[in-house]
Structure formats: C-alpha cells, structure tokens
C-alpha cells in the first residue's frame, strides 16, 4: 500500500499568512494560463494575473521550471485527495479504477493544455517523478494488483500497463478532448477478463 503521505500541496515551510496566499495565487494563475494557452506563457504574465510582483513570484519559485513543477504537484494533490476520500471506500477495484481514471480525465480536461507544459513530468511518464505523482502512481499500481487478484482483469496485466494506458489517456484529452470516454471504455475492455 502506498505510503499515506498527507496531501498538503507541497508547501515546504510555515509561511506568513500573506506569503501563503501569494503562493496560492501564483499557482492558480499559472495553472489557469498554462491551461488555456499552453507552454509559451511568460513569467511576467503569470505574475500579472496573480497580481504579484515578478520578484515575489521568484521568491516562491526559484525557476520557471520549479513553478511548473509546483503547479503540477498541486494537481496531483487534488486527484489524490479525491482518491483517498472517495475511491478508497469503493469495494470493487475495477469500479474504483474507473472512478479514479475518470477523475484524472476531468482534471485534465479542465486544465487542458497544461500537460503540454510538463510533458516530461506527466503522469505515467518516465523521468524523475515528484512526490505526489509517485504517490498517485503507486495508488494506481495497487488498484491494479487488487483488480487482478479479484479476477476482474486479465492475469498478465501489470500495474505498469495501466500506468501506460493512463499516460495515453491524458495525451488523448490534450489532442481530442471529446473522445476520452470512448478511450476509457475500450481500454478497460482490453484489460478485463473476457
């Protein structure tokens, strides 16, 4: 079972109230802008939308990359929270898996375009995985194990396979958002015992 990290959105230290608020504003601005305009959003634009000086932005995140990473973490945190509060209750693993993947898809749809900023860091990709992403992936793997154990999916299907399909799912949303439920149906069919 994955380590039950408390999902605190990654703020490393205790911050003054206003600092915490600014951090959140920046992260939201970043998510919003990336979501709608893809990768080529400038730091100045993020700062402007967050109504924060550019210096403040850099105080919170030493680098553009760091900021993107943090926004990314935030999204994983959101999904994890959902999973732990809702899916965890569901007894049938395949149903829980479908719920989780659906949630992932919904977040992806909402933040469409965000993914293109972090291709190297998207769910299921290779490359160094951040804390919350690792946790989320661990949950998926575990769910797969349970589903296999209960005989709901084919015995040769591994957790890695499901991560791989998940990765495809988010990409499909980025490219042809409307069709993602068809994708999900077909993939789950491909996994299930006949």
Partner DNA sequence: GATGAATGAGGTTTCATTCAT
Partner DNA sequence: AATGAATGAAACCTCATTCAT
Q: Which residues bind DNA (CB under 7 A)?
A: 15-19, 21-22, 40, 42-44, 52-56, 58-60, 62-65
Identify what 122 binds: a copy of itself, DNA, none; CB under 5 to 8 Å per kind.
a copy of itself
Query: CA distances (Å), 146 to each of 19, 45, 87, 94, 151, in order?
Result: 42, 45, 13, 9, 9
Cβ-in-10-Å burial (0-12, 13-18, 19+) of 161 comes to: middle
Do 152 and 92 meet the contact criterion of CB atoms below 8 Å apart?
A: yes
Segments in 17-53 forming alpha helices (H): 17-37, 43-50
Q: How far is the CB of 161 from a copy of itself (least distance, A)?
A: 5
Segments in 16-130 forming alpha helices (H): 17-37, 43-50, 54-60, 64-85, 93-110
Q: Choose between 95 and 176: whose C-beta lies nearer to a copy of itself.
A: 176
* Cβ-proximal residues to 87 (8 Å cutoff; 6+ apart), any chain: 96, 99, 100, 103
Residue 169 lies near a copy of itself (rule: CB under 8 A): yes
Residue 126 lies near a copy of itself (rule: CB under 8 A): yes
List phi, psi (to 5°) of 101: -65, -35
Identify what 149 binds: a copy of itself, DNA, none; CB under 5 to 8 Å per kind.
none
Ranges within 50-89 binding a copy of itself (CB under 8 A): none
Identify what 188 binds: a copy of itself, DNA, none; CB under 5 to 8 Å per kind.
a copy of itself
Q: How far is the CB of 88 from a copy of itself (least distance, A)?
A: 26
Identify what 84 binds: DNA, a copy of itself, none; CB under 5 to 8 Å per kind.
none
Site string for a copy of itself, 21-40 (x = CB under 8 A): ------------------x-
Q: How far is the CB of 116 from DNA (least distance, A)?
A: 14
């Amino acid at each position: 079972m994955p380590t039950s990290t408390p999902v605190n959105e990654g703020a490393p230290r205790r911050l003054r109230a206003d600092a915490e608020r600014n951090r959140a504003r920046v992260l939201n601005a970043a998510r919003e802008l990336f979501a709608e305009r893809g990768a080529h959003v400038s730091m100045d634009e993020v700062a402007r939308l967050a109504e924060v000086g550019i210096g403040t932005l850099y105080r919170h995140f030493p680098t553009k990359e760091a900021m993107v990473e943090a926004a990314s973490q935030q999204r994983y945190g959101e999904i994890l929270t959902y999973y732990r509060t809702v899916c965890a209750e569901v007894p049938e693993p395949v149903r829980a898996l479908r719920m989780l993947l659906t949630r992932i898809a919904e977040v992806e749809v909402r933040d469409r375009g965000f993914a293109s900023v972090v291709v190297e860091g998207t769910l299921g990709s290779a490359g160094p995985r951040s804390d919350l992403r690792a946790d989320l992936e661990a949950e998926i793997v575990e769910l797969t194990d349970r589903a296999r154990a209960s005989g709901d999916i084919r015995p040769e299907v591994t957790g890695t396979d499901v991560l791989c399909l998940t990765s495809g799912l988010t990409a499909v949303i980025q490219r042809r958002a409307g069709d993602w439920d068809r994708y999900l149906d077909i993939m789950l069919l491909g996994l299930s015992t006949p």
